[in-house]
Amino acid sequence: MTLFCKFKKEKLDDGSYTLRPKIRVRLFGENISTQIYALLDTGCDVSVIPKSLAESIGIDISGKKGELFGFLEKTDVVESYARIKIVGRSKKESNLIKIPVLIFDNEEDENAVIGLNGIFDNFDINFKKASDRIVFKQAVV
């Protein structure tokens, strides 16, 4: 199975623009599912979601506590898992996969990032910025 996503052109505070690999993900909780357009970040080991999102859709937040180290900062997190599908163009979806997620609680700066673990184990991913495509191929394992 092959899925195609695109880069999102985003305007920055200084008036310039950047292209970011914002992919469409369906995130399944015990209560509801939601679609998120989230950054696919190859510099992030694990996917990260805010506590308010996890609680809202029903993802377990009672897991082992840990720390996430970023550039010049550290964040307290809780380890958990999420069930997701990658959604490509023309509504084409990947199989349901279970990925590790870290849940953090910082109401002043919430964000969601799709990281390496679980994602790059299940897909061969080709970033084609020049042709505005991100290609996901279900990996044969």
Partner 1 sequence: MTDADYEWYLRTDLSKYSGKWVAIQNRAVVAVDSNAGKVIDKFKKLYPKKEPIITKINTRLSIL
C-alpha to C-alpha distance for 24 and 41, rounded to whole angstroms: 13
Spell out a b/e string for 9-39, using b for 16 or more CB atoms within 10 Å of the CB, else e: eeeeeeeeeeeebbbbbbbbbeeeeeebebb
Which parts of 79-108 interact with partner 1 (CB under 8 A)? Answer: 87, 89-91, 107-108
According to DSSP, the residues that pair with 103 across neighbouring strands are 49, 78
Instruction: Report the Cα–Cα distance between both ends of the chain, in Å, rounded.
Output: 14
CA 69 to mean position of chain CA atoms:
17
Is residue 42 at the binding interface for partner 1, with CB under 8 A as the rule?
no
Is residue 30 at the binding interface for partner 1, with CB under 8 A as the rule?
no
Q: Which of 33, 58, 121, 124 binds partner 1 (CB under 8 A)?
A: 33
Which parts of 64-83 interact with partner 1 (CB under 8 A)? Answer: 70-71
Is residue 24 at the binding interface for partner 1, with CB under 8 A as the rule?
yes
- Spatial strand order in the sheet of 2-5: 2-5, 133-138, 123-128
Q: Please identify, using beta-carbon distances, which residue of 69 and 140 lies nearer to partner 1.
A: 69
Is residue 39 at the binding interface for partner 1, with CB under 8 A as the rule?
yes
**Shortest separation between residue 140's beta carbon and partner 1, angstroms:** 27
Per CB under 8 A, residues contacting partner 1 are: 6, 8-14, 18, 22, 24, 26, 32-39, 41, 43-44, 49-53, 55-57, 70-71, 87, 89-91, 107-108, 110-113
